[in-house]
């Protein structure tokens, strides 16, 4: 599998980092996990497109993780000429979110159906709402889920994808918890959204301080990776976003708590497992 960090940013606007999303390519099976700002542009950079997606998985309904799902839906609809149903999996609430996205797109949908004879119906999106512990198959990829902890955001779920003997845990925003340990156990790669507590604490802004209690810090992620026996730890959704010159410092802080390989990088960083 190739795990492409298509969006390593966060809600904070960044000229160089798209919002949170990760693309997993397992042969012809392309699976998107979350759909943050700029995701379709980054999918193109990763050699994929919404029309190639076997499924999109959603960890939670925070805007930074789903704000570009409308672009995925519209681009998939147009590129497949309305002939292929888009599969979306996510926590309870995802079906209503998608239905409202399509409602918001009604003017555009009407214009395109009026203008293109081949388009005869609105985008077809099949949403499967998941409970923690559910497992299912997408293409050749087996997927298991577990509850994560990002309160007051509820429900939130993380995913473990397995293909051809390789495994990847993609868990979204969460503090350390049993669900993440389970998903990351002996994984070839564990991808964690992270913040740096020491740096965030220096930012004199009450709303920024609020993020401290519901995200994993770099140290939390390293300790989880170590406890779970994950072979690689990939950091994403970094707050505050580091410059490339700062990557060694981020890695060093994680390496104090974890012996495996630590990956941090720009958008489109690719991990092959």
Contacting residues toward Zn ion, per CB under 5 A: 62, 64, 173
Report the length, in residues, of the chain.
273
Give the 3-state secondary structure of residue 108.
Answer: helix
Q: How far is CA 16 from CA 34, 38, 49, 211, 237, in A?
A: 18, 10, 20, 22, 12
Q: Cβ closer to Zn ion: 102 or 195?
A: 195
Q: What is the CA radius of gyration of the chain?
A: 18
Q: How far is the CB of 156 from Zn ion (least distance, A)?
A: 7
Q: Please, where are the H alpha helices in the chain? A: 39-45, 63-66, 69-79, 94-104, 106-115, 178-184, 197-200, 206-209, 218-228, 247-255
Q: Cβ closer to Zn ion: 198 or 210?
A: 210
Q: How far is the CB of 237 from Zn ion (least distance, A)?
A: 6
Residue 173 bears catalytic tag: no
Q: Cβ closer to Zn ion: 167 or 174?
A: 174
Q: Are strands 125-130 and 135-138 parallel, antiparallel or unpaired?
A: unpaired
Q: Which residues contact 6 (CB under 8 A, 6 or more apart)?
A: 18, 21, 22, 23, 32, 39, 42, 43, 45, 46, 267, 268
Q: How far is the CB of 153 from Zn ion (least distance, A)?
A: 6
Q: Cβ closer to Zn ion: 1 or 194?
A: 194
Q: Cβ closer to Zn ion: 54 or 70?
A: 70
**Catalytic entry in 2, 14, 34, 64:** 64
Q: Render 1-43 in DSSP notation, one character per residue.
A: -EEEEEE---SS--SS-PSSEEEEEETTEEEEE---TTHHHHH
Q: How far is the CB of 235 from Zn ion (least distance, A)?
A: 13
Residue given tokens 């799902």 in the structure block: 69
Q: Cβ closer to Zn ion: 119 or 175?
A: 175
Spatial contact of 50 and 87, defined as CB atoms under 8 Å apart:
no
Q: How far is the CB of 218 from Zn ion (least distance, A)?
A: 15
- The residues annotated with a catalytic role in the active site are 64
């Amino acid at each position: 599998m190739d795990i492409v960090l298509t969006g390593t940013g966060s809600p904070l606007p960044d000229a160089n980092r798209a919002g949170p999303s990760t693309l997993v390519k397992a042969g012809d099976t392309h699976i998107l996990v979350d759909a943050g700002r700029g995701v379709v542009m980054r999918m193109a950079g990763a050699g994929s497109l919404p029309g190639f997606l076997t499924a999109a998985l959603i960890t939670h309904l925070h805007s930074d993780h789903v704000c570009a799902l409308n672009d995925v839906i519209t681009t998939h609809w147009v590129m497949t000429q309305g002939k292929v149903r888009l599969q979306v999996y996510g926590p309870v609430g995802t079906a209503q979110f998608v239905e409202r996205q399509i409602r918001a797109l009604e003017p555009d949908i009407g214009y395109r159906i009026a203008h293109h004879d081949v388009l005869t119906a609105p985008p077809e999106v099949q949403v499967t709402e998941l409970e923690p512990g559910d497992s299912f198959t997408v293409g050749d990829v087996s997927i298991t889920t577990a509850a994560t902890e990002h309160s007051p955001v509820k429900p939130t779920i993380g995913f473990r994808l397995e293909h051809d003997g390789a495994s990847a845990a993609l868990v979204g925003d969460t503090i350390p918890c049993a669900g993440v340990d389970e998903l990351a156990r002996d994984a070839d790669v564990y991808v964690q959204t992270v913040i740096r507590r020491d740096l965030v604490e220096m930012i004199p802004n009450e709303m920024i301080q609020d993020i401290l209690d519901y995200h994993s810090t770099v140290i939390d992620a390293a300790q989880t990776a170590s406890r779970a026996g994950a072979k690689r730890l990939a950091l994403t959704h970094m707050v505050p976003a580091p410059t490339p010159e700062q990557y060694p410092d981020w890695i060093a802080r994680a390496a104090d708590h974890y012996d495996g390989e630590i990956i941090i990088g720009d958008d489109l960083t690719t991990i092959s497992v």
